[in-house]
Structure formats: C-alpha cells, structure tokens
Amino acid sequence: MIKLVWLVPLLPLLGWMIVGLFGKKLSKGTIGTIASGAVFAAFAVSVGIFLEVTKHKGEFESIKLFDWISAGNFTAAFSFLVDPLSSLFLLIITGVGFLIHLYSTAYMKEDDGFHRFFAYLNLFVFFMLLLVLGDNYLIMFVGWEGVGLCSYLLIGFWFKNTNYNNAAKKAFIMNRIGDLGFLLGILLIFVTFGSISYKEVFDFAGATGAGLSGNATVTAIALLLFIGAMGKSAQLPLYTWLPDAMAGPTPVSALIHAATMVTAGIYMIARSNIIYTLSPVALEVVAIVGILTALFAATIGIFQNDIKKVLAYSTVSQLGLMFLGLGVGAYTGAVFHVATHAFFKALLFLGAGSVIHAMHHEQDIRNMGGLKKYLPITHLTFLLGTIAISGLPPFSGFFSKDEILARAYEHHEFLWLLGILTSMMTAFYMFRLYYLTFHGKFRGTHEQEHHLHESPKAMTLPLIILAALAVLGGLMGIPEVFAHHAHWLQNFLSPVFEKSEMRMLSVHPDVAHEFMLMGIAVLGAVASIYLAYNRYVKAENVPANDDEETSSVQKVIYNKYYVDEIYEAVITKPINKISGALYKFAELQFIDAIVNGIGNMVKQLSGLLRLAQTGNVGFYIFAMVISIIVILITKLF
Amino acid sequence: MITVSLILLPLIAGLLALFIKTEQVKRFALFATLAQLALTVFAFVELKNNASSKLLSFNADWIRSMGIHFNVSMDGISMVLVLLTSLLLPFIVLSSFNKERENASVFYSLMLLMQMALVGVFTAMDGFLFYIFWELALIPIYFICLMWGSSAEKSAGAITFKFFLYTLVGSLFMLVGLIYLYQHTGGMNAAFTEFVPKSFEISALYKAGASLTLAQQSFVFWMFFLAFAIKMPIFPFHTWQPDTYVSAPTQGTMLLSGIMLKMGTYGLLRWLLPLVPAGVQEWMHLAIALSVIGIIYASCLAIVQKDFKRLIAYSSIAHVGLISAGIFSLNIQGLQGGLIQMFAHGISVVGLFFIADIILSRTNTRQISSLGGIRNIEPQFALLFLIILLSSVALPLTSGFVGEFLLINGIYQYNAYAATFAGLTVILGAVYMLRSYQSVMLGETNAATSTFARLTSNEKIVLIPLVILTIALGVYPKPLMEIAEPALQNILQIAGIAK
C-alpha cells in the first residue's frame, strides 16, 4: 500500500482536471460526485497506508517518482516520504477534506461557479498532499506555494467583489513574505548540509558527533523556516490576512483556513524538529511568538460580531497555542492539537456555514439568537465543538491543550499562565458566540425568521461525523497520569521525534502537581463559561451596534488594534510613494535625462563641428597643412 | 550542416517572402518557421544522442588573411536558445494573423531575417562572425519598430532611433573589445617553433583574453559588458527599453523581449565569462550589485505603472536583472538557472505581450485602471492569463519557478544578503502582477470591457500551447537542463571556476 502513495495526490489532481476541463458540460451532481469521490478514494488509500505504517518496523523509505530539478550538486527529486507524521496528515487532509467536499455539494448548490469551486478545492487537496508527502524541502515548498495559490483563488472566489479580491491578494502577498523566508531557509540548508532531502539533512544534523547544538547557522535555518511558518500559519506579525480570508465561501474557511493549510507551519516545524531542538534560541522565539499570537488574537476574538471572524481569530489563537507547544518541545502535543483542532474547528466553521445558509448570508451574530429550535442538529454539533475547543474534559480539545500547557509549565510557569489566560478567553468568546447565536430571542428580520430551516443531510452528516471526532478525538492521546502508556499518538509518532526526544530530557511533574494544573485549567474554563452565560443568557446582553459609544480600550480592540491601518501607513503607502518618486525623479528626470543629455551633447558638438565645413577650399588646405605639421612633430619626438 | 541550415532556412524564406505580395505571405511565414522548428527539434535530438556530433558544426575560412572564419556550432547553451527562437517564432507569426498590415510581405520577411540573425548570434563561434550577426539582428527589428510602431506620447521614430543608437553604441564598445583581443591572438607558439597567425576563432580569443593582465582584462570586460548590459538591459542602461517595448508593434516587442534580450544574457555566458576570467572576478561584484538594484528598482517602478504594456516592460527588466545576477554568481546553479530562466521568460513574456495586445485591440486602452471584469465575459482568457502570470511570479510547477529558484540559489552561494534582496522579486512580483490581474480581469465590467469579444481560435492557438509549455517545463525541466549542463560546466571550466 505504501508503494501506492502516489495515488493519493494523483486522485484529486485527476478530479481537478476532469472538473476543470469538462465542468461546464457536467451536471452539478456529477461534478460533486467526481470531486468528492476523488478525495474519498484518496482517503481510502490513505487509510490503507496508515494501517501499514502502524505495523511498519524499521526505517521509512522514500518513494521516488522522477527527477525534477538538478544542477551540479543540487538535486531535488519528486519523491514522497510515508512515515507516521505524513500518514497522519494524509488522514486528516483527505478525511476532513472529504467531509467538507460532501458538505459543499449542498452548500454551494445555488452558486454559478459550482464547477470552478470544486476544481479549486480538488487542486487544493492535491497541493496540500504534496506539502506533507514530499521527502525534501523543495517539494514541501511546491505544496506550500500551491496551497497559497488555491487559497488566493478561493478567497477571491466571488471575483466580482473588490473587497474579496483585495483580501485574496493580501493573503497571497503576505504569504509570499513568509515564503521568501522559507526559500532562503531552504537555500541555507542546502549550503550547510549539501542536500535538501529530509533524510540526509536530519541524519547529519541529528548525529551526535556533528556538534551542531546551539550552532548559529542552525538557528538561522530554524528562524528562516519559521518566517515561512508565520506567514502560512498566520502568526504575529503576518496574521492579518487570515481574518480577511473569511471572504471566501465558508467550506473554504473550514478546510483551508482552519483544518489544513494554516497548520502547514506546524507540520513544517514538527518535520524539522531536530533542527529546532538543536537551537534553543529558535525554540524560544517560536514559543514566544506563539503565545503572544494566541493571547493577542483571543482578545480580538472577544469583541468580534461576525460569526466567521470570531472563528478566524480563534483559529489564529489556537495556531499560536500549537506554536507554543512546538516551542516548548511538545512536538507530539502540537501535532495532537492540529488533529483535534481540525475536527472541532472544521465542525464549528461548517456549523457557522449551516447557520449562514439558514439565515440567508447573514453573518452578524447581533442579528441572530434563538436558533437552537430551528437548527437542532447544527445547534447540538456546534455546542459539542464549542465545548471541545473550550477544553472541558473528556472532549478532545482538553487533552491536546493540556499536553501543550503541561509542557509549557515545565518550560516556564509564566508561559503556562499566559496559556491558561488564553484558554479562559477562548472559552469565553466561544460561549459568547454560541449563546448569542443559538440562545435568547431571534433578533433578525421577519423574512429571515420565516425562512429558517435545518440544512440538508449532505451538510448535517459531516457535522455529525466531525462532532463525534471532536468529542472522542482526545482518546488518541491519553496522558500518562490517567493511564500508563495509553498515549497512542506519542507511541505512533515516536520514530519522527525520537532524535529530538533523546536530547530533551524533560522532568515530568509529579502526579498531584499535574492534576492540579489540569484542575486550574478546567476551573478557569468553567468560570469563563459561567461569565458568558450570565452576560448573554441571563442578562440577555447583546453587543453594541457599531455607531454606539464604547470605551476607548474596547474601541481599539474592536478595531483589531488598528494593525491593518498601521501596516497600510507604514508599509504599503510608503512603498507606493517611494516607487512613484523613483519613477518620476530617478527614472525620468535623472537616468533617462543623462542618456538624452549625452545624445544632445553629441548633437551640439556636431553642430559646432559642422561650422568647419564651410566649403571654402582655402580653409581646407590650411587645415590639412596644419594637421600634417602636427603629425610630423608628434612622430619626430 | 544542420546549424548552417538553421541559418540559411530563415534567410532564404525571408528573401522569398518579399516576393509574395498576397495575404498568403502569413501562411508562408508560418510554414517556414514551423519547418525551422522541426529542424531544430531534429538538431536537439542529434545533440542529445551524440554530444560531439559533426552534423552540428560547420567551419570554413571566410577572410583568411584576417583569420576570420564562418564557424558555427551548437552546444547545449546554443541549443537551448536556438530552440527558444524556433519555438517562439511560429507563435509570434501566428499572433499577427488577425491583423491586416500594409507591406505585409516586408513585415514577415523582416521577422524571418531577424530569426536568421538570432540563430547566427547563438551559434557563431568566431568573434567577427558573432559581431556581424549581432549587428545584423538590429536592422530588421529597427525597421519593424519604425514602420509598424506607434506611440501616443512621443514619435515612434524618435523612440526607435534612440533604441537603435543606444544599442549601437554598446555594440561599438564590443567591437573595440573584440579588436583589442584579436590583436593579442597569434604570435609564436609556446615552444617557439611556429608562428601562429592572428585569428577571431573563439578558442583563440579565449586564449588571448586569459593571457591579458588584470588591467587589460578589466578594459575588455567593460567593452563587452556595456554591450550586453545595454542589450538586456540592466540597470541603469535600461531607459531605452520601456518606450521601445510600448511603441513597437506587438510582434516587435515579442521579438525584442522574448528573444533579442537573450542575446545579452547569452553574451555573458558564451563570451564575457570565459573571455576575461580575471576581469570577471574583479567586476562581478559591481555587476551583481547593479543587477540586484535593477531587480528592486524595476519592480518598484512596475508597481506604479498605469500602462499595462509598460508594466510588463519593467517586470522584464526585473527578471533580466535576476538572470544576470545569477550568471555573475559564477556557479553551476546560477548558470543553469540563468539559461532555464531565459527560456521560461521568453515564453511568459511573449504570452504577456500577446495578452496585452488582445486587450488593447478589443478595448482600445492599455490603462490598467480603465479595464476590469473581463473574466465575467471570457473566463478562459482569464485562466490563460493567470497561468502565464503565475509563471512570471515563479509559482512552483510553472517554468518560471525552476529558473528563479536556481538563480536565487546561485546568488545565495555568492552572498546571502544579495540573495535576500534579489529574492524580494518573489514578493514585489506578486504585488504588481496580482494588482494588474485584479484590475484588468476581475471585478465588474465597465464601458471599456463590456463588449469584450471572445477569443478567436487563432488567439487560442497561440495562448494554449504557451500555457502548456509553461507547465510542462515547470514540471519536467530535465531535458533542457540535461542538455545544457555539460556546456555550462565547460564554460565554468574555461573561466577557471569549476571544481
């Protein structure tokens, strides 16, 4: 089965080709079936591969398809690496991907761009699979840029809308800033290790004799790669594209901007774990950027009123937590959180889509409320997702978040404290979102109320499956304090992280201590939920309208700390201004003026010389004689 | 013999075209360029199978008393560029099928003669012959720009004249350099047994160049460098280019940007690097600095352009800057990247200028801000544009990526900071390209675009193969890279850099 891994990306690629080329001639049903079927088939193959990987002993070999780029001693082949990490990501991408495809067949039914949508979605899955399957950094980069392109296409899916187009462009360009870092990181890897294939790089870096621990070059590599991760996974300061990316259709937000693409940065660091382990400085940077992003985005999430924007900031925040995990060496915990987050965040986005669908494209939660009786399945599944993300046991989010926070505590208590603070805010804004949407009285128009309906089966079925995963997903990683050696995920991933684990001797806190940390986290979440309940259910508070006066702090946060405005003023505008000035002054009035000046000078000198051409033969003879004399004199001496 | 045929075929076809006074001349020209393409493919296979094939070289005395030879031959480098020329010409001819032109026979004849000169430039292995072809190439394009060009702001004549003079001055520097080198060829052989006559043969010139002192090499370096720098053009020798690209007829712009500018980058590879290795070592830093400045400078200028064609012109300067910086990094990745990027850039820039032409001919404007919404009417056109654009911004799996990655790779080995600045093209390219794509293609239609006519089949026949080539080369660049590698290694070896 492992040998057949090329089928996994090939199937969605074929889906893309068929739908893309013949989509106009096919019915919507056929398109939906082909596109979803391709991803489902890829999922089936992935399951087979996964099962084989669980039984696999010894080293994981890469599977080479063909030579891609080779020049001198540089080679990059199109080849795939199947190991626990990539096989796990295969399952998430194709599994969650399939559910979202299925959901989209109903969600996008009325859209004119139906076939285009599925073509892009299939193409996205193809690139995402390349990203995690490549056995070297350049193939990862191919997938990396490819998913960026699909993200661009899907954010700007409704291309008549200028705001959406701007959001798409912003996402692409901001990602490109990160990509440059990634690219330079790859080049530094090549220059340092003479290769970009994982095996050779990690074997060399991980060899105890290499003495690379704390090496400045390794730190530079790690930081350059991390710049790439900051772009793709929307971390400070490159995060502002992700909230704007909500312009895309909601299934896109679920698949690309929550479950898969934005976690590519975590995959990249987890994949390169040995490089990061060798550089404590880089790990520290990752942890700090992660926790700061987590906190920062969470504060913004509290004040957002657009159902998708709340989820978007929540995604930024959760991604920050994953980076915190990576930064404190909880590689398994971070990957674990990627998985559980894929379940509950995809669920929440799809649930939000179901609400938006029912509300006729209304996204403002101030105009919702009381939806639980109209949308029972959406309501129940959304509630389960909300509990999971808030970290209440025994839902999945509890386990993965706890693992990250426990490691953060070992690293430094303050990081843990900030993590707890973030979790509390998360629980608060998520329940705020839940209560405002599903509880209380309906605040929309009569027309909207009249049309409220539960979504069709193709949409609710994915919700139910994802809800089950969001509830039970935590069982793949039961912490040591509950049961000995029950952390299946850790055992499964151990071949990937083993070189790092050897170097990071962590001191586990005693059982009582760990239970106490867990207890604080759970209590904090419960308190936040209680607060949200009091405010939005009991007191029936509804967030203020945009034109109402609010305190200045609230205003700053509501306007997302004016970060977009600052970027506009500090980066975008100056570049345009400088470019305009360069064009006007340097180009037209200086460089080109010099060129023309030389031309004119020659012309004028010729004009002077022309005066000598008088037609007077006597003058010519005189000039000739003078010249001969001059020549004779110079020759003589 | 094949190489000579590749020069003779367009020459004869070009002369014959003059006598076809009907519309048939288009078809004749297309047929001739396709025949040339077939012949080139044959040559490609021949070179692949037999690296030292006699069929690809031809050497005869031309002016014996001066040691001038008609020496043409093809190695991997020449092959890639001849292939590019042969590949693009049919598309350039086809792109003009929809247009009714005055003096069509002269127009197509000039294009074919241009092709002849270009093949000559890329295959000449004699300094004098190279110079002759180099200057010959200027004549047809001069008349194409002069007779069929048009410009709103300035007179097309003045613009063309400036272009002609500017590049001519550059070439004259090169002539001085060539003659200077020639003066140092010949003399007694190493064993002092025999007198070797002076010669323009490339190997003799290489030898002469290597024997010069550093100061002399520096002098020769500048003579050649100026010629190539103006031709490409690289900063700050570029100011003739945007005006010329904008005012030239589309086919002229395609010839200039798609192929002719590669004369300059080819010149670096074939002539400058191996000719005066010490001079290159001395001045490469400045050359790279100028190239990298040019990348950022031209990208910034592209951001503020309002005219779509001018925007492409500036983006071309940025791309060429990267090629030149990569080549001057003097390592195999930089050289390979340079060569592949010449090919890829040829395809994408011809595609982009054709797109600009399609838009202009339908909407009568190239002002980016007055366009928009074309995608609503012709989604296929938007898609083709998008793919070519993606190659231009170096998205992986398009041809633009392979070259750009290797170039930045090469520059990185020279200096990490230079690579970082050169790499800004990754970001800035996306800025100006996506901006123009958005305002031209996306959004709602307006007065200029609401009656946008669907693509004709002729137009599709040009754009679709270009797009397919873009992707094919991006996914599988191996054939080109494989054929070029030994020749590039050879250049590095002569330049004394190979390991």
The beta-carbon neighbor of B239 closest among A145, A188, A592 is A592
The CA distance from A301 to A303, in Å, is 5
Looking at beta carbons, which pairs linking A498-506 to residues 24 or more positions away fall under 8 Å? A499/A202, A499/A206, A499/A273, A499/A274, A499/A277, A500/A273, A500/A274, A500/A276, A500/A277, A500/A329, A500/A331, A503/A213, A503/A277, A503/A278, A504/A277, A504/A329, A506/A329, A506/A407, A506/A410
Contact residues on chain B for A583, CB-CB shorter than 8 A: 300-301, 304-305
Nearest CB neighbour to B300, from listed A160, A582, A591:
A582
DSSP at B188: E
Match 């193709």 to its residue by tokens.
A458
> For B430, which of A173, A591, A595 is closest by C-beta distance?
A173
Q: Which of A129, A155, A170, A187 to probe by mutation at the B interface, max B CB count within 10 Å?
A: A187
Q: Which of A117, A127, A140, A160 to mutate to test the interface with B (most CBs of B within 10 A)?
A: A160
Q: Which residues contact residue B380 at a Cβ distance below 8 angstroms, ignoring those fewer than 6 apart? A: B455, B460
Tokens of A443: 């605040």
pLDDT, tens digit, 9 for 90 and up, residues B171-212: 999 999 999 999 888 877 777 777 888 889 998 899 888 888
Residue A220 one-letter amino acid: A
Of A177-191, A485-499, B90-104, the range with the highest mean pLDDT is A177-191
Q: Please state whether beta strands B58-63 and A62-71 pair in parallel, antiparallel, or not at all (unpaired).
A: unpaired
Indicate if the pLDDT at residue A282 is higher than 90: yes
Taking a contact as any Cβ pair under 8 Å apart, which residues of chain A between 161 and 180 contact chain B?
A: 162, 165-166, 169, 172-173, 176-177, 179-180
State the pLDDT at residue A505: 63
Q: Does A158 touch chain B (CB under 8 A)?
A: no
Element (H, E) at A363: none
Domain assignment of residue B96, given as a range:
2-494
> What residues have CB less than 8 Å from A120, skipping those under 6 apart?
A150, A153, A154, A157
Query: In this complex, is the C-beta atom of A572 within 8 Å of any C-beta atom belonging to chain B?
Result: no
**Token match 């090469």: residue?**
B410
Whether B396 has a pLDDT exceeding 50, the answer reads yes
A231 vs B contacts (CB less than 8 Å): none
Planar angle of CA A602, A607, A612, nearest 5 degrees:
125
Residues A395-405, mean pLDDT to the nearest whole number: 90
Nearest CB to A156; choose among B406, B442, B489: B442
Task: Please indicate, yes or no, if residue B397 is contained in any of the structural domains.
Answer: yes
pLDDT of A20-70, one tens digit each? 888 888 888 889 999 999 999 999 999 999 999 988 877 888 889 999 999
Distance from CA of B409 to the nearest CA of A (A): 6
* Residues on chain A touching B485 (C-beta within 8 angstroms): 71-72
| pLDDT, mean of residues A83-110 | 92
CA dihedral sign of residues A416, A422, A428, A430:
negative
**Non-local CB neighbours of A309 within 8 Å, separated by 6+ positions:** A243, A246
Q: Which of these, B490, B491, B483, B487, lies nearest to B43 by C-alpha position? A: B483
Contact B336 A165 (CB under 8 A): no
Number of domains in chain B: 1
Of the candidates A315, A530, A303, A324, the residue with the CA atom closest to the CA atom of residue A418: A324
Query: B236 to chain A nearest CA, in Å?
Result: 7
pTM of the predicted model as reported, rounded to 2 decimal places: 0.92
Peptide bond into B233 cis (omega under 30): yes
> A632 phi and psi, to 5 degrees?
-60, -45
* CA dist., res. B119 & res. A256, Å (int): 49
Chain A hits for B408, Cβ within 8 Å: 183, 187
Which tokens in the block code for residue A456? 């069709």
Helix (H, G, I), strand (E, B) or coil at B12: helix
**Burial of A308 per CB tally in 10 Å (0-12, 13-18, 19+):** buried
Contact A79, A61 (CB under 8 A): no
Chain A residues within an 8 Å CB radius of B406: 69, 71, 74
pLDDT tens string B247-280: 899 999 999 999 999 999 999 999 999 999 999 9
Q: What is the reported pLDDT for A508?
A: 65
Give the nearest partner residue to B301 out of A166, A179, A582, using CB atoms: A582
Of how many residues is chain A composed?
Answer: 637
Answer yes or no: is pLDDT of B498 > 60.
no
- Provide the 10 A C-beta neighbour count for residue B101: 17
Residue of A nearest to B158 (CA): A596
Per-residue pLDDT for B499 more than 50?
no
Does B101 reside within a domain? yes
How far is residue B261's CA from residue A249's CA, in Å, rounded to a whole number? Answer: 44
What per-residue string of b and e applies to B203-225 under the rule 16 or more CB within 10 Å gives b? ebbbbbbbebeeebbbbbbbbbb
CB–CB contact B332 A66 (8 Å): no
Q: How confident is the model at residue A110 (pLDDT cuts 50, 70, 90)?
A: confident
Q: Cβ distance B43 to B79 under 8 Å?
A: yes
Please answer whether residues A187 and B419 qualify as being in contact, where contact means their C-beta atoms are separated by less than 8 angstroms.
Answer: yes
Residues B386-400: b if buried by 16+ CB within 10 A, e if exposed? bbbbbbbbbbbbbbb
pLDDT of residue A208: 64
